[in-house]
A and B are shown apart, each in its own frame.
Chain A
Amino acid sequence: MKLYLKYAAILLKSQMQYKTSFFMTTLGQFLVSFTVFLGMYFMFDRFQAVEGFTFSEVLLCFSIILTSYSLAECFVRGFDTFSGIISNGEFDRIMVRPRNEILQVLASRIEFSRIGRLIQGIVVFIYAIPASGVIWTFDKILTVVLMVVGGFFVFSGLYIIYASLCFFTTEGLEFMNIFTDGGKEFGKYPFSIYGEEVLKFFTYVIPLALFQYYPFMYLIGRTDRITNMLLPILGMLFILPCHLFWRIGIRHYKSTGS
């Protein structure tokens, strides 16, 4: 942990060397997700509600998924850019060091400029807190925290799978984007609006709905079942098979030689 913090401090310092570029990128990140927000605003301006969810309720969902996604993107970026680490031979260097590989990959890149997106998530969240009409008791606050943490774990798990696939293919697989990028993009609406099959897929195969749709229903008071609130914890377990897959991948690793 201490080592990780040291890495993080160094990365922060190096990114701060180019201050203008850093702030421009942060601003850019903010703008990119701002257009998504505007798109949602226009849709609700026209349609008022979707499947019984109002704009402010959907915003709550949007801000939670945006926050957990940008946290994952910020801290687990090393796995996202893993094909680069493999193809330039950096992973060989990582393997020979007497430290855990995951820690080193995690610490190799931390993208602080993703804060732009995080800020957006938080701003929208602050707006949605009073507007959504949720009465903020302790269990509701706990639900939000669980959703964000659960989301962070599931997205991280997806990045780890993405990186592990690189052991077999060297190149990153574009298809995984559907689950990471797409998860953020389509997760702005509760997954139930896409229909039964999609919801099932995101429950049992890629557990995005576990930290999104089910606890969200509890949050806005559509259901009283306490299990809904606790489902993100089950979602966090998704990281275990991902880790296993990573171990299998490492055993398969052959250096590219460059």
Chain B
Amino acid sequence: MKKYLSFFRIRFIYGLQYRAAAYAGVATQFAWGGMILLMFAAFYKNSANVFPMTFKELSSYIWLQQAFLALFMSWYFDNDIMSSIVNGNIAYELCRPIDLYLMWFLKNMAVRASRVVLRCAPILLVAFFLPEPFKMSLPNSLLEGALFLLSLVTGFIVLVAFSMLIYITMFYTISPVGIRVLAVSTLEFLTGAIIPLPFFPEGLKKVLLILPFGSMQNTPFLIYTGVLSGSEALQSIFLQVIWFLLLTFLGKRFMKHALAKTIVQGG
């Protein structure tokens, strides 16, 4: 276990190096979040009665989304891992007495976590001090705050488990760009990164909530804003855990299958 932790630590500290980039990123995300809120405000003015949540809840949702963007961004892939598959360096990795799946999993988590650590605090801090309808508000109770943190972590690992499946498909297709773009844009849309899931049509929303897509960023943010509460919140966290177990099980199976067939093409 110790060696895996040190993998995590190395990547985490490595990620913390990029501080200047992070500050530029904070400014960008802040402007981005602001524009999204103004857009929703225009729709809200038009017909507030069909708005699926209150505007206050939406504001918190959008700021959380911006603050924790790095945890749930579906377009991020570790270049080391990608190129190791393409250029054959994976042969070295396979010689080591470690579980490749677990190591990649932790690497991914570490990079994402380090980005969030740098970015989330300034975004949330400023968002708390914005004028009324656009400001970020606190969760309704301490319990909901705790549930939010719990489901933030489970949602995060569900997403990483899902993106592991995308890495594994790279073993089968040498040209990685196609599948990746396809998978990323679908994932992006279905997890609610473009518009939050509550704004989806009812039928589609019901399906997505059962699928892993609803168990990523959707659950923690809705718990924080209070749209999901009480037993509903617990149920969705339970669903997150199930998806996490299922996706990692699948990922490990596929990886084993892929590695059994892997041919490193010399070089």
Contacts and interface: CB of A to CB of B under 8 A. Distances in A.
| Chain B binding surface, main DSSP class | helix
B194 A174 contact: no
Contacts of B179: 24
Contacts of A34: 185
Interface in B2-57: 21, 24-25, 27-28, 31-32, 35, 38-39, 41-43, 45-47, 50, 52
A46 interface: yes
25 contacts: A20-B175, A24-B178, A25-B177, A25-B181, A27-B178, A27-B181, A28-B178, A28-B181, A28-B185, A31-B185, A35-B186, A35-B194, A42-B200, A46-B201, A47-B43, A48-B46, A50-B42, A173-B24, A174-B24, A178-B28, A178-B31, A182-B32, A186-B39, A189-B39, A194-B35
A195 B189 CA distance: 26
B177 A24 contact: yes
Given A46-B199, A50-B46, A171-B21, 19 more contacts: A20-B178, A21-B175, A21-B177, A25-B177, A27-B182, A28-B181, A28-B182, A36-B194, A43-B43, A43-B199, A173-B24, A174-B28, A175-B28, A182-B32, A186-B35, A193-B39, A195-B38, A195-B42, A198-B35
A32 interface: yes
B46 A21 contact: no
Given A42-B201, A194-B39, A28 B177 contact: yes
A18 interface: yes
Contacts of A31: 181-182, 185-186
B126 interface: no
Nearest to B42: A193
A29 B175 CA distance: 16
Contact of B32 (A25, A27, A45, A178): A178
A57 to B, nearest CB: 14
B195 interface: yes
**A interface, how many residues as a size bin?**
35 or more
5 residue pairs, one from A and one from B, having the closest CB atoms: A24-B178, A28-B181, A193-B42, A35-B189, A194-B38
A48 B49 CA distance: 12
Most buried by A among B182, B188, B189: B189
Contacts of A29: 181
Contact of B178 (A21, A42, A178): A21
Contacts of B46: 47-51
Given A18-B175, A175-B24, A35 B42 contact: no
A194 B42 contact: yes
B31 to A, nearest CB: 5
Interface string A120-157: 00000000000000000000000000000000000000
A171 B23 CA distance: 14
A177 interface: yes
Interface of A: 18, 20-21, 24-25, 27-29, 31-32, 34-36, 38-39, 42-43, 45-51, 171, 173-175, 177-178, 182, 186, 189, 193-195, 198
Interface residues of B, number: 33
A42 B24 CA distance: 32
Contacts of B194: 35-36, 39
Interface of B: 21, 24-25, 27-28, 31-32, 35, 38-39, 41-43, 45-47, 50, 52, 175, 177-179, 181-182, 185-186, 188-189, 194-195, 199-201
A39 B38 CA distance: 16
Given A27-B182, A47-B50, A198-B35, A39 B189 contact: yes
A64 B178 CA distance: 27
Contact of B195 (A39, A177, A193, A194): A39
Given A32-B181, A46-B50, A47-B50, A175 B27 contact: yes
A42 B199 contact: yes
Given A24-B175, A28-B177, A50 B43 contact: yes
A135 to B, nearest CB: 26
A46 B49 CA distance: 10
A173 B194 CA distance: 23
Given A43-B43, A46-B50, A50-B46, A32 B200 contact: no
Contacts of B185: 28, 31-32, 34-35
Contacts of A194: 35, 38-39, 42
Query: Among the interface residues A18, A35, A48, A193, which one has the most CB atoms of the partner chain B within 10 A?
Result: A35
Contacts of A32: 181, 185
A111 to B, nearest CB: 13
B189 to A, nearest CB: 4
Contacts of A24: 175, 177-179, 181-182
A138 B131 CA distance: 47
B104 to A, nearest CB: 23
